[in-house]
Structure 1
Amino acid sequence: MTKNRPLTKLTIKNAQFYAYHGVKTEEQTLGGKYQVDADLYYDDKSAVLSDNVSDAVNYEEVMFCIDEIFNSDRFNLVETLGYDILNALLERFTTLQKATIRVRKLSVPIRHIVDYIEVEQTMSRENA
């Protein structure tokens, strides 16, 4: 009988970005602040045994990947932005089994007062 190894969860909280996403002209012209949380699940057995960052999910490389998506294109919807981030992470980091991304748009240009809007999306290798 094969025993499953538990997955390690690597969390990145409140990563800050400035980008020009949104439907409204002022969002596309002036830009806005965003925050991203990422919960990344992977089998860390190789990393634990080697104690080598090249065998782990390198969080600095994760940040570069997220930043690349944030600045490579303009998105009307945070849903599309989150989806592209998830796909890029699962493509680039082959040890990832599952990832959850939360993208927050701060200072939302609407009539009502809100702290932020947030989209949360989860993707696993099975549904990637």
Structure 2
Amino acid sequence: MSATGQIFIEALDLYAYHGHFAEEGRLGQRFSMDLVLDCDLRASSVSDDLEDTVDYGAVVALVSKVFSARRFRLLEAAARALADAILEAYPKVTRVGVTLRKPAPPIPGRMESVGIRLDFTRER
């Protein structure tokens, strides 16, 4: 029986100073992110042991640290840094999907958010 699957973290809100415009770097803004981690969940589905899976609490701590460690001008660069950190820290993860949103973008018009979605796969 196969138990490969995904671990997901949805709507993680973080405040940071990312963006192309100077005022974004000076004032900061709220960001929302979704993460989807592809990994083999067979061992943990049998053992019921956290050591056999990817601890999503630890993933949240890692991405929070990486996301606030430096200023990114583009969401694409921030997404790559997050995926690189996850893939480096968690060998069980084979693919990372990152969705980043700016809920209040500094552009004219009425919208809920703007953002990007990128997928990164571990190179063998």
TM-score range, shorter-chain basis?
over 0.9
Q: What amino acid sits opposite 1:76 in the alignment?
A: R
Residue 58 of structure 1 pairs with residue 58 of structure 2: no
Residue 37 of structure 1 pairs with residue 37 of structure 2: no
User: Which position in structure 2 is the counterpart of 1:107?
Assistant: 104
Give the paired residue count.
124
Q: What amino acid sits opposite 1:13 in the alignment?
A: E
Between 1:5-14 and 1:33-42, the stretch displaced more is 5-14
User: Which position in structure 1 is the counterpart of 2:72?
Assistant: 75
Aligned identity (percent) is 27
Q: Deviations over 1:15-57 (max 9, x none)?
A: 0100000111111111001001011110012212221112111
Pick one of 4, 9, 19 that aligns with 1:22: 19
TM-score of the pair, normalised by structure 2? 0.93
TM-score of the pair, normalised by structure 1? 0.90
Q: Deviations over 1:55-96 (max 9, x none)?
A: 111110110111011111100000100011111111111100
CA shift for structure 1 position 6: 4.7
Q: Which runs of 5+ in 1 are unaligned?
A: none
Q: Distance in 1 between matches of 2:30 and 2:98?
A: 16
Q: CA RMSD in A?
A: 1.5
User: Which position in structure 2 is the counterpart of 1:120?
Assistant: 117
